[in-house]
Amino acid sequence: MKTFAPLPALVLAVLSVVLAVLPGAAQPAPTPPAGGLDTALIERLTGAKGALDAAEGVFKVSVPRTDLGLEVAGVRMAPRLGLTSWAAFRRMGDHAMVMGDLVLREEQVNPVMSAALNAGLEVTALHNHFLWDTPRVMFMHIGGHGPQDRLATAVGTVFRAMQTTQTPPAKVDVDPAKTTLDPKAVEAILHLKGDLKDGVLRFAVGKPSHMGGEAIGNAMGVNTWAAFAGTDARAVLDGDFAMYAGELQAVLKALRAAGIDVVAIHSHMTEEEPRVVFLHYWGIGPAAQLAHGLKSALDAQAAATTR
């Protein structure tokens, strides 16, 4: 039998290239995106650079807040001391999820919150991390589920909104000792009975829950309350919403649509059942306008409860 000498290595290499491009030839599978995520797409849509945690399949983009000029009790703060806005993406089956934390000057809080809600994200907490900080900064937590491109686009919108500032309200001359607003007009809008004392008209609606098997509600401070002071033409409104977790986003959207600022979102208790989230708010304007805004949030809460 006739034998053939082995082909030179160069010939074998050329032959493998030719076979690879022939029709029907097997092609190597493309490398899947890291953790099932298109990290390049996320960076492009968010406008922020990211890093992959391969062990957890999480891609995190970050925006260090180098522009804040923050001092805490005289300490000059740097981003690595907790002043970085970030959003972390993870693949969840056929969609993705995102969680993040935004570092904001107080005048940026409500414009950024509105941007997040309008972009389809959830706002899940708003609080401070420091005392004696100058300028004052707040931290807003966001989240969402959906296609990764939609989530990344929403996060990009929020990151850009961090450069938007809200003009602080002009100083308002409201003194509860001089309150003249019509309590019956506010009561008629809210469909609630108020209590006018010391120039402040207050309302309270209990939110039932349980701790240690015992019922808790209005008298224990688990309530939505509102306080009005001033005149019919110029009044201040502040208060606190007590909500089950599923009601939070509806209340946030209603308050922001009414031009009422949200100043904190947090818990007041642990181990209560069902869980209750508290939201503090503040508004300035005509008393009737503020009352209508508050009523829209109460109605949104009621509608979310029944869903």
Looking up tokens 């508004």 gives 283
Residue 166 lies in a domain: no
CA neighbor of 68 nearest in space, from 54, 84, 86? 84
- Summarised one tens digit per residue, pLDDT across range 252-276 is 999 999 999 999 999 999 999 999 9
The CA–CA distances, whole Å, from 134 to 110, 146, 292 equal 19, 37, 35
Record the tokens describing residue 74, joined without a space.
Answer: 């005289």
In this predicted structure, the answer to whether residue 299 has a pLDDT above a threshold of 50 is yes
**Sign of the C-alpha dihedral computed for residues 179, 182, 187 and 189 taken in this order:** negative
- Summarised one tens digit per residue, pLDDT across range 42-89 is 999 999 999 999 999 999 999 999 999 999 999 999 999 999 999 999
Q: What is the pTM of this model?
A: 0.85
Record the tokens describing residue 140, joined without a space.
Answer: 């807003």
Q: Which of 98, 132, 161 is the last residue of a domain?
A: 161
Which helix H or strand E contains 228, and what residues bound it?
Answer: strand 223-230
138 and 68, same domain (yes or no): yes
Is residue 8 very low, low, confident or very high in pLDDT (cuts 50, 70, 90)?
Answer: low
The CA–CA distances, whole Å, from 113 to 65, 160, 165, 256, 302 equal 17, 12, 12, 8, 22
Record the tokens describing residue 293, joined without a space.
Answer: 């805004």
244 and 273, same domain (yes or no): yes
In this predicted structure, the answer to whether residue 182 has a pLDDT above a threshold of 60 is yes
180 and 301, same domain (yes or no): yes
What pLDDT was estimated at residue 33?
Answer: 54
What pLDDT was estimated at residue 202?
Answer: 98
- Summarised one tens digit per residue, pLDDT across range 218-245 is 999 999 999 999 999 999 999 999 999 9
147 and 181, same domain (yes or no): no
What domain count does the chain have?
Answer: 2
134 and 190, same domain (yes or no): no
Domain that holds residue 230: 176-306
182 and 302, same domain (yes or no): yes
Q: Which CATH number fits the domain that encloses residue 254?
A: 3.30.70
What pLDDT was estimated at residue 281?
Answer: 98
180 and 302, same domain (yes or no): yes
Distance CA 124, CA 48 (A): 22
- Summarised one tens digit per residue, pLDDT across range 124-172 is 999 999 999 999 999 999 999 999 999 999 999 999 999 877 677 667 8
149 and 183, same domain (yes or no): no
301 and 183, same domain (yes or no): yes
Residue 27 lies in a domain: no
138 and 219, same domain (yes or no): no
